[in-house]
Amino acid sequence: QVRLVESGGGSVQAGGSLRLSCAVSGTSYRPYCMGWFRQAPGKEREGVARIDRSGSSSYADSVKGRFTISKDNAKNTLSLQMNSLKPEDTAMYYCAATWRVGTCREFEYWGQGTQVTVSS
């Protein structure tokens, strides 16, 4: 069974950096698309960044220039490098994946999440 496990969350001061990782297991096939999402208490879940099978990526306007999504195909791992963190980046961060060809909009597999807390 496919499983996604996030790691790398923690507490950091504003302006600092964190690198999140998401390990994919349970399959020998790489996802068509993967993404990072976040949800703060009382807020709706929002997409942060996505990357498809070819390596093409996209970002939410709020994180452009600060976050970088990447994947390590050899390790079957997704990463999110977060720089210049702001208090408003505080949220539970989730990785997600889809093996459905042609879409980066719907994700059928989700990790449990890792907490990111940014203090001012």
DSSP state letters, 31-61: PSEEEEEEE-TTS--EEEEEEETTS-EEE-T
pLDDT tops 90 at residue 103: no
**pLDDT, tens digit, 9 for 90 and up, residues 26-77:** 998 999 999 999 999 999 999 999 999 999 999 999 999 999 999 998 888 9
Q: Would you say 21 and 6 are in contact if contact means Cβ atoms under 8 Å apart?
A: yes
pLDDT at 87: 98
Q: How far apart are CA 112 and CA 52, in angstroms?
A: 21
Give the whole-number percent of the chain exceeding pLDDT 90.
Answer: 89
